[in-house]
Amino acid sequence: MSRSLPALRRGRLADAASRLHKQAGVVLALVLLVLAATYASDRFLTVPNLLNVLRQVAIVGILAVGQTFAILTAGIDLSVGAVLGLSVVLFARLLEHHGLVVAIPLGLLSGAVAGLVNGIGIAYGGIPPFIMTLGMLSFARGLAFIYTGGTPIPILNEDFYDIGNGYVLGMPIPALMLIAALFACGVVLRLTPFGRCVYAIGSNEAAARLSGVAVRRYKVLVYVICGLLAALAGLVYASQLSVGTPIAGQGYELDAIAAVVVGGTSLFGGAGSVFGTFVGTLIIGVLANMLNLTGVDPFVQQLFKGALIVIAVFVMSRPSRG
């Protein structure tokens, strides 16, 4: 171990340098966008607005953190929006008769269970992630509809409302939850053996398996994390909006994937970071905020969003090429 330490150090340094290099592109894209937004609206660069942006991106941001895990293993999780929807109706229904202590853990558990099913299907069943999670997308959405009969369930619990709408230390709670998720997942990915195995699986699954990585077990864990975070996003959704609607989170999987990819994580796996995902989430969130502040027509907004995703990935890929 001590013999290989200098080499390892150098490896890590070079690794860190290349990572910085790559992330510089993403951060540059965000900086450019912030400058544009500041120019477009004099209200953009104000504390309440920036806090709004943080709260607005919390739901998709948390989904995107989970999605980063799946994409890092060269997988994908298309079910996150639907799993969010399922957890949202569970939170709402459970809160009708029970307190937060019962509702929150059980709601979060539903996400983890959905993720577990995904993971087992993918790792042990050999079903491609795209297909497995596509199936789960439809299945979880169906459950949410059956469970509610298609009708939204109002949430009248005041404490629950405060989770989504309150502040701690001047920060909106959903934003703090996003930051906590980012921090925890960043640490897990960078500093634990599990984290390094996630990258290893994504870079070369066969090699990882041959070098003794418990690929299957780790893959299951990846999808459990993804599902759990989807339910956490559901907690933010339900508590912010005080309603358990079975259509919650429709299409969010694509927003989450966009945030991950804009943030520089490779769809082929093995490269990327949750920090990048955070910046990617902010890029998309700041754009939406800027367009709303300046009152851009909703038809045109979609155009901007599409163009931004492509341009951001283009800008980001430049430095790594040079």
Partner 1 sequence: MMLKHVALLIPSLLAVTLSAALAQERLPITNKTCDELAAFYAKLPFTDVLPLEVGPVEVQGKVRPVTIGFSQTGFNHPWRIAMLEALQAEACRHPNVKIVVLDGNVDVAKQNNDVRDLLARGVDGVVMSPVESAGLVPAARAVMAQKLPLIVLDRDVPSDKTLFIGQSNVTMAEQVAERMAKDLGGTGNIVVITGLKGSSPAVDRDRGMADVLAKYPGIKVLVKGDGEWIREPAVRLMEDWLTANPKITAVFSHAEESSWGAQLAIARAGRCKEGIRHYTFDGSNAGFKSVKRGTFGADGNYTPYIGDIGLRAVIYTLTGKAIPGRANYDSPGSRLLLPDSPSVVPENADVWIGRGWGDFEPTLDPCR
Q: What does the binding site for partner 1 look like in residue numbers (CB under 8 A)?
A: 41, 43, 46, 48-49, 52, 55-56, 59, 90, 93-94, 97-98, 102, 106, 110, 143, 145-147, 149-156, 158, 161, 165, 237, 240-243, 245, 247-248, 288-289, 292-295, 297-299, 301
Shortest distance in whole angstroms from residue 146 CB to partner 1:
5
| Cα gap 149→154, rounded to integer Å | 14
Nearer to partner 1, 56 or 273 (CB): 56
Shortest distance in whole angstroms from residue 157 CB to partner 1:
10
Shortest distance in whole angstroms from residue 109 CB to partner 1:
8
| Cα gap 264→274, rounded to integer Å | 9
Shortest distance in whole angstroms from residue 113 CB to partner 1:
9
Nearer to partner 1, 48 or 212 (CB): 48
Give yes or no for a contact between 67 and 228, defined as CB atoms under 8 angstroms apart: no
The position carrying tokens 């959405």 is 141
- Total residues found in the chain within this entry: 322
| Cα gap 94→71, rounded to integer Å | 32
Give yes or no for a contact between 65 and 222, defined as CB atoms under 8 angstroms apart: no
DSSP-assigned beta bridge partners for residue 171: 168
Shortest distance in whole angstroms from residue 95 CB to partner 1:
10
Shortest distance in whole angstroms from residue 217 CB to partner 1:
25
Shortest distance in whole angstroms from residue 121 CB to partner 1:
18
Nearer to partner 1, 212 or 298 (CB): 298
Nearer to partner 1, 239 or 265 (CB): 239
Nearer to partner 1, 212 or 299 (CB): 299
Shortest distance in whole angstroms from residue 293 CB to partner 1:
4
Nearer to partner 1, 119 or 172 (CB): 172
Nearer to partner 1, 13 or 146 (CB): 146
Shortest distance in whole angstroms from residue 105 CB to partner 1:
10
Nearer to partner 1, 161 or 194 (CB): 161
Nearer to partner 1, 70 or 291 (CB): 291
The 3 state secondary structure assigned to the chain is CCCCHHHHHHHHHHHHHHHHHHHHHHHHHHHHHHHHHHHHCCCCCCHHHHHHHHHHHHHHHHHHHHHHHHHHCCCCCCCHHHHHHHHHHHHHHHHHHCCHHHHHHHHHHHHHHHHHHHHHHHHCCCCCHHHHHHHHHHHHHHHHHHHHCCCCEECCCHHHHHHHHCEECCEEHHHHHHHHHHHHHHHHHHHCHHHHHHHHHHHCHHHHHHCCCCHHHHHHHHHHHHHHHHHHHHHHHHHHHCEECCCCCCCHHHHHHHHHHHCCCCCCCCCCCHHHHHHHHHHHHHHHHHHHHCCCCHHHHHHHHHHHHHHHHHHHHHHHHC
